[in-house]
Structure 1
Amino acid sequence: MPIKPRGGSFQVTVGSGENRYRKMFQDELEAQQAELDEIKRRKTEGATKVPLQVSKKPHEGKTLGEAYDLTMRLHWRGTAAEVTHKINSNAVLEFLGRDTPLTSITMEMVNEMVFEFEDQGNAGSTVNKKGSCLRMMFKTAQEQGWIEDFPNPPFRKEAKHRLRWLDEAEEVRVLAACEHLGLADLRDFIMVAIDTGFRRGEMLGFRPADFSNGLLHLHAGQTKTDEARAVPATRRVTEVLTRRAHLPFTFSPLSVYALRAQWEALREHLKLTDDPQFVVHMLRHTCASRLVQRGVPLAMVQKWMGHKKIETTLRYAHLAPNSLLMGKEALEQAYIPPTLTNNWRTHEDTHA
């Protein structure tokens, strides 16, 4: 099978079924070499002689893509909503990964997906339709005995989005916890994510070479909107990127799975396991919230964050009460006191 890009990593798959080899690599050349080594090993040792992976139960390796295929055949094909289900399901598969084992999908991953859809400007009803497709895939898998239980995607009210971000004090606690746990890579990741507003995939796929002249460049095709953008680096972002310039990717030690595991360790240490909003995507909300709170115009925030629609940026507008005071001050500048008006009229009457 060809090497597949997954976020900022590359997935190598050789063989199928119980004899399948699958592994993630941060560098594409490393992935290509691993694929060649595995093919060579199979030729010399015999691929069928010793299975690489042995499932204890027939359903343990079932993936989200297999659940989708079966759901389409059993429930959606031939219905009036078939095309809609397919479109919404493909969005789910793209985010969670078609080859992701069903048993590895957590509530945190589902929440991340929901927040990402909202960040793309999806209305509550659209998010719910995508969540319903995922829920149906889970139910189908459960009916087949592939899984016993599953995370239930949350419903969203129309046009209602709850935003969770870190204030400065909470950020200090989070970074201190990373140091305490020895999660230096995660600490760097968090600081850069907060100061850039980059999405998880944009962060993991960022290369040191994309940092030049004080700007972090995301090229067309790297972003959710497929449009290039660049943001200026803060002092601490510059320090992190300079220190990690020798790596193939800026956050090479962190794969999607390593990031998820380290974030979960951080969440447990901070006793935030009951906070469904404490997810990686929250760092992006933190960036947008701080920009608005500190007086950056919404049009500039939209450009910085790469929001395709201004409606997405407007979710943060209520965080900028000072903008209303600015409007008041602008009107005050054009205000003529009554005394001046009366004096002008008296002067006019005198010369009549």
Structure 2
Amino acid sequence: MVTLTQKWIERYTPTSKLKKIADPQSKGLYFISRLSGRHSYVLDFCCQGQRHSLTLGRVSELSLAQAREKAAQERAKRDPRLPFQDTVPTLILFDDFGDDFLAHHGRHWKPITAKWNQTNYRLHVLPFFNGMMLQHISAENVQVWQHQQSHHGGLSLLSSMMKKAEALGLIPAGSNPCKGLRQPTQRLTGYALTPQELTLVWQGLDKGIAGCDTVTRLIRLLLLTGCRGGELRTLQQCDYRAGKLYLPDSKTGTKTVCLSSFTRYWLDRQQQVSTNAFLFSDGYGEVTHGRLSRAWRAIREALNLPHVRLHDLRHTYATLALEHGEHLLNVGKLLGHEHPETTLRYAHLATSAMYQASEQVSQAIARGLQS
């Protein structure tokens, strides 16, 4: 018989589709294992000839100790022979809960996301709520804090923390003080290259100012696909097939990039000279972040474009797509955005389409005045 412990559950790897493991310490409590990894706790028992089966919660939401306590309470509600005492939740300091949240929940984030959230919490969330009891944080507190914020992303992190507190039963269900509040929409602080600058960069790449052919092709591909630098730098040979890029771990998860014939031409050339499992590799090895940054710095200095960042190539791709009439949803799919609102942030960069629309409206009004 398996003796359930918190450590055993955290390390458990499922071996079958569905497995039901009884907890010897809590009668009727079972650990339900699924191949998908969405394990849960259920309470299954008979009382006075009636069978009760309740799902207590997922393993990601409840610790074993919390599941046992919840099981005892649920049994007591249904069995008059058992003493029932509605427990009063213990008050918890927000900073203690925040530390535990980042340590436990951060394991599911990518390293760069974990670092971002930890910094966001330390600099923008904790200073205001430090010393407050988790259960005493109200919507009014959150609104006061939000009005003081000039940094993007704090509200979504705080809301995730309070949702977790709800799931763990630390605050009442539906009491998330962030509910109904929205993060202020931020305008994208990017830059789109003008047609003249774009021509200048491409001609500079033709002249070899990037320093080597592999890095040159990589920068060309950043322009032609709108991908992030890290997505292409870490591209494996096997990720390029059937005329598409299959990115296994982009910022928003897996992503498929459809490629034009011109883009495939440059990729095929690079594939022929690649020296290892990385598509963008040569005699110096794969292209590292530092190597790409140094090459782009050299390009900016040679072309006198000190204001243009490497990530602005992605902004340029998005802007040109919008200016040439591509639908917002299609552009979002090309860029790998999860939400249309993310793509909409690029709209203010696409100014030529606005000028064209303004011209058309003005001409229509003028024709109406002359008739």
Which TM-score tier does this pair reach, normalised by the shorter chain? 0.3 to 0.5
Instruction: Say which one has the larger Rg.
Output: 2
More RCO (CA 8 Å, sep 6+): 1
* TM-score scaled by length of structure 1: 0.47
TM-score by length of 2: 0.45
